Structure 1
Amino acid sequence: QAAKELLELSWTKILSQFNLQSRTQAPPTKFAPPTYLTDVKLSSATEALLSKGPKFAPDLPVSKVDHLAAIHQVAAVMPEQERQEFLGAATRSVCYHPAPRPKASVNIRSAVAEIREKNLKLLQADKTGGFVVIDDEMYKMKAKAAVEKNFIAIKKRPSGSLRSKLKELCVELNLPKMKNLVTAPANQYLQAFFAAKTHKPDVPLRTIVSERGCWQKHLATFLQKHLSEVHPLQPYRIKNSQELINALEPVHTGAPNLDFFSLDIEDMYYNLDIPILLESVEEAITEHGICSFQNSSGVPLSGFLELLQLYLKSTMIEHEGKIWIQKSGVCIGSCLAPILSEIYLSYVDRTIQVKLKNTSPECTVVRYVDDYLIIHPVASKVEVIVASFESAGGKLKFKKEEPSSEGLQFLDLRLKKTNEGVCWAFSQRSEKPVLPFESAHSKTVKIGIIKTLITSAKTKSCQHSATDSIKSQTRRLMSSGYPVERLVSVFHQLINPKATTKTPFSRRIASIPYIHNASHRIRSIASRYDTKVVFSSRFKLASMCNMINRQEAKPACEKKHAKPFRACCTEKVYSIPLKCGAEYIGQTGRCINDRLREHENEATSRTDNPIHPIAVHANDCIGCAPDFEGTKTKGGHRNRHGREIIESFLIQNAENNVSSASVTLSRRELEFIRPEIEKYRNSP
């Protein structure tokens, strides 16, 4: 108790003495440049941009349409009786207080163009954060080696036999919704991308798959949903560092004759034995209760296992024009990989537990994902302990790590052996820097980062290490550009917390892109109408990797239209000219040819009482007909609400329009966006 009181006093003293004199000691904000695996260097401007890291969100210009789109996006989740009142209040606030212009211009396109012109590729570092710049030839060589490590090339490109088999199985198991979902996606194979292992010699690449846009995603989601309800007995698993601290408390003092080391499973996902994995899943479901599992999933156990086996056979990727099938295990990037590995390791843990009871009963073992921490008496034979793990793991390979002079890193704690026992201090697991303060994230996110790091340093460190841990996290924050005034303000909040009432839970939640000076106003107004607003980043530098590394531009449309009216494009506001001089203005997020085909079918259908505006107009205007081939785009927006706003503006300002607007804009909104949209009115 005395030690804890001393810790509280030291914590208060450290933070209270952290005043403005620290400003003179603050190091200048300078970020490490990207890692170069090539002799070609980038310009200073591009290098400075990449040095801020993949999670950095640059402060990009925001259009006035974006402002109104955010308001309408929040209004869409509100009931009709509250929507108009919210729209009026939020529109007044945003129109009178628009977002200021960015302080510094950031040209993403020029940086992407420079990297492409120099024939370079851009990757994210696997554990250390930051970017890796590599030339195209070395990228292909390392990517091929990474793929060949865990995949085998197929000589003959397989057909869609697996998908056909899945559809037959869906019919047999009475899963019509699943059948429709797996029929729709156009992609037959998973897509692979790579991360650079900068923490290893020669910087090899790690292969990660993406299920986005593939039929496997829907099958994996179904399997994941029902496997997440299965909770097998796991004797060693811990969920977080707090559970690790609970295990360390008994050996903190009064245990001088203890030692520890860790065992890491190498490439765990790819080394899972499939037959043993399927047996483990079946046993876990049996322990959970077959009847309850079958009732919740709607399929028998044998059918569920058949679906799982089919998914594991379908993890094929397309790379460099070839099809590769996985050798064994589960792909990194699969949404099923974490839960399948936990079920697999639950039975490995039980086997290890039995072996250690016979050979080293005094050992304390905990596991977090694929890392084991073993605390044992000094007199124990380490080789016997390691042998117990290796014999129980089957094909799994374990890598041993001994404590260094700085201790042993496990989870987000740094463990050190002392004369009394084991001490621990909060320390980040990787070398990734803190999110730079100048990133275009909301102030709520940045304050949350400060509170999380400092609170973790206090609560996740023993009383012997808390002071040094707090100072270490403070230095990290200052090196990432966090101003001392902001740190002092948050520190005072932590020292003297104010009593706050818990905000009642709101069932209505809307997510909008963060816009400086506007998003917080929208959130404040929405809270009056029992609606919670959360923010997302509009753009992060990590997106540059895909922009640079993709071999060719993504086609605007993957369909082969039987009757294309014009060049394919998506997310556009369009105008269909009529023979009499009128026009039909509309918007679509799909390919414009799909929407024009639907217009043609509805406008030319012979009915006595047509409801399509073009057909209604044709009945009143003799000889008038639409010219679908002459359709022009009048603007575009990624967000549906943004397109509807542009559409509404054009309709309300059109001289002879036959369509109706999706939303009605007030005079204030029309004048707010007029200078921005006028340029679209006569664009080709």
Structure 2
Amino acid sequence: MEADWSNSRQRTRWGGPIRAKRTYCRATKTYKYRHSSQQVISCSRVVAQYATTSKHSPPLKMSLAVRDETSGRGGVPVDHGQSARKIISPCFTMDTGRESLHDFINRLYGEEVYKQVRRFEVLRKKKAHQVSSLIFLLRCRDNNVIPKFLRAKRHFNTAASHRIYNRLERALLRERIHETRRELAKLDSELLSVHLLISQKMNNWDWERVDRIIYNTMSSEMKKSTERQKRKFEQCDTNTKPRPILDVNKTVVNISSHQLSDHEESILAKGGNFAVTPRNVPVEEIIANIEAGIRNLPQDSAEEIRRDCSKILQHARPPKSNIPYTERRALKDLRNNKDIIILPADKGNATTVLNTVDYHQKVQDLLKPENYKMLKRDPTASILRKTNDLIKNSSIPEELQKKIKVSEALSPRLYGLPKIHKPDVPLRPIVSAIGSPTYNLAKHLTRLLQPHVGQSVTFIKDSSHFIEKLKLINVRDTDILVSFDVVSLFTKVPVTDALLKIDRIFPRDISTLFRHVLTTTYFQYNNVFYEQKDGVAMGSPLSPVIANSYMEEFEEVAIRNSPLKPTHWYRYVDDTFVVWSHGQEKLLEFLNHLNSIHPQIQFTMEKEENGQLAFLDVLVKRREDGSLGHTVYRKPTHTDRYLHKMSNHHPKQKRAVLRCLSQRASRICEPQSLKNEESHLHQAFQANGYSFQEVTRALRPRKGTGVPPTEEPKQGVAIMPFIRGVTDRIGRLLQRHEVRAIFKPTHQVRNLLRSAKDPRDKLSSAGVYKIPCSCGSVYIGTTKRSIKTRLKEHEGHCRRVQPEKSAVAEHAYNNLEHNIKYDDAEVLSTDRNYHARLQREAIEIHKHRNNFNRKEETMRIRNIWHPALKRKLIGPTADNERVGVDQSERSGHIAEPRRPINIGTLVNRSSVAPESSPSTPLRRSTRRH
């Protein structure tokens, strides 16, 4: 006989290891296991294998032969010719009654073990009920349903009391969920202890079968409890109408050959402005913007903010994902699919999916030679120089010139928006001019020209202004309501004619700036540069004002020279609302007259139908008394898709959407049609995920004069990404110290998809960057110009052996065997705010402990932020004084000017060659002082 001790793993719900003494008998070729119950279980290897692996033996109808140790033979010899089923004597089966199971456990293990088994069964049944109860409560929470047993009796019937009752009921529901989870944790602990106790007193096979019987009982209870909870939920929700849903066929227009999956349709239906929750908390960005916002506060207030915000960031966790994993995966698949391109529709807020080939062909159809000219090279650099020279020689004040001038610029980019309401889905050309050489100048000129536009009696500012005009109009039955629309106004505006009015208003130097901006109409598409021959580009901030200015001159000439004049003529940019009282035939003559004034300005006409005519977002209706009624108008392509409730936006931004549309309804609709509009908004907002109570609160009439309250000036502004539970708490802290917190959404869907614009080089933006060295250390730098330009300067300093110019050149000079890896440079941040960028550089220097930045050139992040940044550290641990000086030592928390190194003792500058190949390492001069 050979004996050893081993762990036998139980195949139960808990899977706890059981300690047993195993003895092997060579004569019978069997194992014997001795347990604390003084029973010996004997089986051959053949029987054990059959009992555990056979797929044909019915479960729970087999047990090992059990003999008392005092009966003589401790086991049954195995005859391999017999069936293993005949060798094993039955012990208990699935159809064993409660009494037979009780007798069986009592006979082998005693009454105490049976009580523990019963206790284990009761605990499992309790767990089944608690799990189904938790599922019910979570379902109520997610669907904004309060269970009947948590509903408070409402003794007051005011709006404020109902809000208090609602908050109370939701708080009780949350507490009930927490209590259920605590009960489940307690049950799990008791189950584990009882399981371990039973498994130590029963052998493997008997405990496994008892455990399985109890598990099946628990499953049956779980099923009954779940069905009961489903019925309860349906009863709780009987008073709630089914939530309306948006039509996916309207919100997602797929005209490509790619078949969208359900998950792809679902994420696209949420809209391009839907923000996905981040997977990590951007601690560095938050700290940099907090420091930039509190830089002007008193020292004690700033330290208090730092202390409280640091505590929040130390325990910050990313919020729960607002979309399932399948939709995240769908986003990634859509981004990687090069055969399709996803764009917002021109009107209606729909999402359009096109074949990439079809999209490029439609753009090429727009770029006809008669309207656009292809350029041989990129003119950005030359236009930038000319722009800065014109600004410098103008009468603009010097302080303002510094804000308008740019040191680097990017070329404008063309893309198209599908017009899904028209046949063959043509594109509307849009030029993105942000960052272009003339963009800042165009914004300044817009501010100069705006006061001189909109002075005519026909000018319409917005829908509210148009409603005021309608109240003064009375029409006869013979009058015709008609609307005229200019075809593609922005690309057809004659720039030469538009500049005539500019020359009359402004002096020559300012007029020259206008002429320069309006004639700079180049753009980039598909890595090819084009120039628009005439008209103004859609996308330039100056284009709408110039178009308005020109149309004022145009309509004055058109109406003055017309033999028959309209009764009323009102215009908003390129759309006009006209009341015509001279009959149908004369109306066509008037349209021909309008189209004959200038060959590029052509109008289309739309007449009233059934006494109704749409203008802007207003539907004008005839009344019997001759006055004109009005209500909100939506085009057939309108989708009713707004910012979704689940989007990762600050709640104030979501409430602003509801409030804005509610105010528009009150402003545009008459009392007779306001109720229908509010009902429509109820349906639309609920389809976008908002609750009935939220919509009702937003549509409730507000007291006041309508004049927005004047805010006291804040001492600072902090722009932060919105992270629920983190930056919203920080924002409240900042508000107490008169610092305004602005929240921006993170990871919007449109930014997670492939862009239709030409891609930019990652190094073409300003920000914070990292340059690695072959030795493993890095350099952290920041620049307001493009990072690519700054890298070239670093490379030039190394090539010309100028270690005093840059820490990179100094490192290369002191370590000739090292290679600076400029091609592996990384962009760490693209902050354009000067103060935030400096703070971000200090944070990255603190994180990268293996940096070779100069101590005197950098800021040092305050020690109070170190715990929050502890998880972000990169490189070996270094002393806190390795780089930088404390911020409190410098005025205004701004980096000191660079102090050049005196290298007179290091190298004779006159003996070093002025230029060397960038591929060769930096070489020291052999001559020294």
TM-score normalised over the length of structure 2 = 0.59
User: Is 1:141 aligned to residue 337 of structure 2?
Assistant: no
5 Å matches for 1:305-454?
Answer: 305-355=511-561, 359-360=564-565, 363-377=567-581, 381-392=586-597, 395-405=600-610, 407-420=612-625, 421-428=627-634, 431-432=638-639, 433-454=641-662
Aligned to 1:26: 243
User: Take 2:508 and 2:489, find their aligned partners in 1: how far apart are those partners?
Assistant: 26
Aligned to 1:297: none
User: Take 1:454 and 1:598, find their aligned partners in 2: how far apart are those partners?
Assistant: 60
Residue 453 and residue 150 in structure 1: after superposition, are their counterparts in 2 closer, same or farther (change >3 A)? Answer: farther
Aligned to 2:491: 270
Q: Which has the higher Rg, Structure 1 or Structure 2? A: 2
- The amino acid of 1:572's aligned partner reads Y
Equivalent position SS for 1:24: coil
Equivalent position SS for 1:261: strand
Identity %: 17
Aligned to 2:828: 636
Greater displacement, 589-598 / 323-332: 589-598
Q: Measure how far apart 1:182 and its partner are.
A: 7.0
Aligned to 2:351: 131
Provide the aligned length of Structure 1 versus Structure 2.
Answer: 624
- The amino acid of 1:514's aligned partner reads F
Q: 2:763·2:827 contact (CA, 8 Å) conserved in 1?
A: no
Equivalent position SS for 2:241: helix
CA offset digits 1:579-615 (Å, max 9, x no partner): xx9x676343534735745986999557xxx997997
User: Take 1:604 and 1:320, find their aligned partners in 2: how far apart are those partners?
Assistant: 40
Aligned to 2:791: 593
5 Å matches for 1:203-602?
Answer: 203-231=425-453, 233-251=455-473, 258-283=479-504, 285=505, 293=506, 301-355=507-561, 359-360=564-565, 363-377=567-581, 381-392=586-597, 395-405=600-610, 407-420=612-625, 421-428=627-634, 431-432=638-639, 433-492=641-700, 494=702, 503-506=711-714, 508-544=716-752, 547-549=754-756, 554-557=760-763, 571-573=768-770, 586-588=780-782, 590-591=787-788, 593-594=791-792, 596-597=794-795
Q: Measure how far apart 1:573 and its partner are.
A: 4.5
Equivalent in 319, 323, 328 of residue 100 of structure 1: 319
Q: Measure how far apart 1:92 and its partner are.
A: 2.6
CA offset digits 1:120-152 (Å, max 9, x no partner): 222221112222211122122111002228733
Aligned to 1:46: 264
- The amino acid of 1:212's aligned partner reads I
CA offset digits 1:339-363 (Å, max 9, x no partner): 111110111232244346x5236x1
In structure 1, the gaps of 5 or more residues are: 1-11, 286-292, 294-300, 560-568
Q: 2:394·2:510 contact (CA, 8 Å) conserved in 1?
A: no
User: Take 1:637 and 1:548, find their aligned partners in 2: how far apart are those partners?
Assistant: 20
User: Take 1:681 and 1:31, find their aligned partners in 2: how far apart are those partners?
Assistant: 54
Aligned to 1:195: 417
- The amino acid of 2:244's aligned partner reads P
Q: Measure how far apart 1:165 and its partner are.
A: 5.9
Q: 2:340·2:356 contact (CA, 8 Å) conserved in 1?
A: yes
CA offset digits 1:296-344 (Å, max 9, x no partner): xxxxx33433333333333123334544321321111122211111110
User: Take 2:583 and 2:852, find their aligned partners in 1: how far apart are those partners?
Assistant: 92
Greater displacement, 596-605 / 420-429: 596-605
Residue 117 and residue 680 in structure 1: after superposition, are their counterparts in 2 closer, same or farther (change >3 A)? Answer: farther
Residue 475 and residue 302 in structure 1: after superposition, are their counterparts in 2 closer, same or farther (change >3 A)? Answer: same
Aligned to 2:189: none
Aligned to 2:294: 75
Aligned to 2:183: none
User: Take 2:559 and 2:369, find their aligned partners in 1: how far apart are those partners?
Assistant: 32
Residue 426 and residue 77 in structure 1: after superposition, are their counterparts in 2 closer, same or farther (change >3 A)? Answer: farther
- The amino acid of 2:609's aligned partner reads S
- The amino acid of 1:672's aligned partner reads A
CA offset digits 1:7-49 (Å, max 9, x no partner): xxxxx99xx9xx9987414214664452222222133322221
Aligned to 2:221: none
Equivalent position SS for 2:608: coil
Residue 679 and residue 515 in structure 1: after superposition, are their counterparts in 2 closer, same or farther (change >3 A)? Answer: farther
CA offset digits 1:387-426 (Å, max 9, x no partner): 4543456631111112335932212211122323321112
User: Take 1:643 and 1:437, find their aligned partners in 2: how far apart are those partners?
Assistant: 36
Q: 1:576·1:626 contact (CA, 8 Å) conserved in 2?
A: no
Q: 2:276·2:322 contact (CA, 8 Å) conserved in 1?
A: no
CA offset digits 1:204-247 (Å, max 9, x no partner): 11211122343233443453343334346322111111111111
Q: 1:644·1:663 contact (CA, 8 Å) conserved in 2?
A: yes
Residue 665 and residue 102 in structure 1: after superposition, are their counterparts in 2 closer, same or farther (change >3 A)? Answer: farther
Equivalent position SS for 1:516: coil
Equivalent position SS for 2:717: strand
User: Take 2:413 and 2:425, find their aligned partners in 1: how far apart are those partners?
Assistant: 22
Equivalent position SS for 2:408: coil
RMSD: 4.4
Residue 594 and residue 282 in structure 1: after superposition, are their counterparts in 2 closer, same or farther (change >3 A)? Answer: same
User: Take 2:707 and 2:465, find their aligned partners in 1: how far apart are those partners?
Assistant: 28
User: Take 2:713 and 2:845, find their aligned partners in 1: how far apart are those partners?
Assistant: 36
User: Take 2:334 and 2:271, find their aligned partners in 1: how far apart are those partners?
Assistant: 18
User: Take 1:406 and 1:472, find their aligned partners in 2: how far apart are those partners?
Assistant: 23
Equivalent in 858, 870, 876 of residue 674 of structure 1: 870
In structure 2, the gaps of 5 or more residues are: 1-157, 167-236, 832-836, 879-929
Residue 213 and residue 241 in structure 1: after superposition, are their counterparts in 2 closer, same or farther (change >3 A)? Answer: closer
User: Is 1:87 aligned to residue 292 of structure 2?
Assistant: no
User: Take 1:344 and 1:498, find their aligned partners in 2: how far apart are those partners?
Assistant: 34
User: Take 1:501 and 1:303, find their aligned partners in 2: how far apart are those partners?
Assistant: 40
- The amino acid of 1:185's aligned partner reads E
Greater displacement, 498-507 / 394-403: 498-507
Residue 492 and residue 143 in structure 1: after superposition, are their counterparts in 2 closer, same or farther (change >3 A)? Answer: closer
Equivalent position SS for 2:439: helix
Residue 616 and residue 474 in structure 1: after superposition, are their counterparts in 2 closer, same or farther (change >3 A)? Answer: closer
Residue 390 and residue 74 in structure 1: after superposition, are their counterparts in 2 closer, same or farther (change >3 A)? Answer: same
Q: 1:60·1:105 contact (CA, 8 Å) conserved in 2?
A: no
User: Take 1:94 and 1:517, find their aligned partners in 2: how far apart are those partners?
Assistant: 10
Q: 1:352·1:389 contact (CA, 8 Å) conserved in 2?
A: yes
User: Take 1:377 and 1:425, find their aligned partners in 2: how far apart are those partners?
Assistant: 24
Higher RCO structure, 1 or 2 (CA under 8 Å, sep 6+): 1
Equivalent position SS for 2:265: helix
User: Take 2:443 and 2:704, find their aligned partners in 1: how far apart are those partners?
Assistant: 45
User: Take 1:21 and 1:251, find their aligned partners in 2: how far apart are those partners?
Assistant: 49
CA offset digits 1:164-218 (Å, max 9, x no partner): 666665676578997997784354x532111111111100112111223432334
- The amino acid of 1:375's aligned partner reads V
Greater displacement, 378-387 / 307-316: 378-387
- The amino acid of 1:138's aligned partner reads D
User: Take 1:281 and 1:313, find their aligned partners in 2: how far apart are those partners?
Assistant: 14
Q: Measure how far apart 1:365 and its partner are.
A: 1.7
